[in-house]
Amino acid sequence: MKKIILFVALIMLVVTGFAQQKPMVLWFNKPAWQPAEFTYDQKVFKNSFHFEDKGWYEALPLGNGRMGAMVFGGVLKERIQLNEETLWDGYPRDAVNPESGKYLPEIQALMFAGKNDEAEALATKKMMGEPLNIKAYQSLGDLLIDFTNTAGDTVYTDYKRWLSLDSALTVTQFKYQNKN
């Protein structure tokens, strides 16, 4: 019986190893939507991603958890939104509530008595950080690359862009004036 279990485990290990060899790639056949002009006038923003259409949702994300970018894959104008983890609205603050320790014994007693709803309500009221909500995360900025001064028409063909999740690489490829 032990040999059968070991054999099945070995087969499953081999199968899962081969399953991971399939490339993990996201691809699109058109650029993400971008406005004709980039503006940062508050009146123009229709939602938190700056655009009415789904341009931000169609951009390809890159990053390592500390810094990142959203690559839009433009042809004549490319936008790369840059991010870094330490950029937050407001000022540095310590959200620890210095009064929270006073209520811990009471909350524990309520929990031991089976009054979990009351314990949760008291913890929410007396132990949460100050301020309760933190400010919003902010973008580092946009890197805009403008190729519109190039001579010739604005027609491009064979557009492809993709993100390889295996290699953390994004590629935008197209033919412009019959050249890659």
Give the domain ranges of the chain: 36-89+137-180, 91-134
DSSP letters, 5-45, are HHHHHHHHHHHHHHHTTS--EEEESSPPP--SS----TTT-
SS3 46: coil
pLDDT for the residue 7: 72
> What is the SS3 assignment for 85?
coil
pLDDT on residue 170: 92
Q: How far apart are CA 78 and CA 57, in angstroms?
A: 16
pLDDT, mean over the chain = 79
- Whether CATH 3.30.70.60 fits 36-89+137-180: no
pLDDT value of position 168: 86
Residues with Cβ within 8 Å of 154's Cβ and at least 6 positions away in sequence, in order, are 75, 76
Element (H, E) at 69: strand 67-71
* 0.75 surpassed by pTM: no
Per-residue pLDDT, 51: 47
Burial (CB count within 10 angstroms: exposed 0-12, middle 13-18, buried 19+), residue 97:
middle
Mean pLDDT by 10 residues, the chain (180 residues): 76 67 77 68 49 70 88 88 82 79 93 94 87 74 81 76 88 82
The per-residue pLDDT for 150 is: 63
Q: Give the H or E element holding residue 161.
A: strand 156-164
Residues pairing with 69 in the sheet: 62, 82
Helix axes 100-112, 116-126, angle to 10 degrees: 170
Whether a cis peptide bond, with omega within 30° of 0, leads into 31 is no
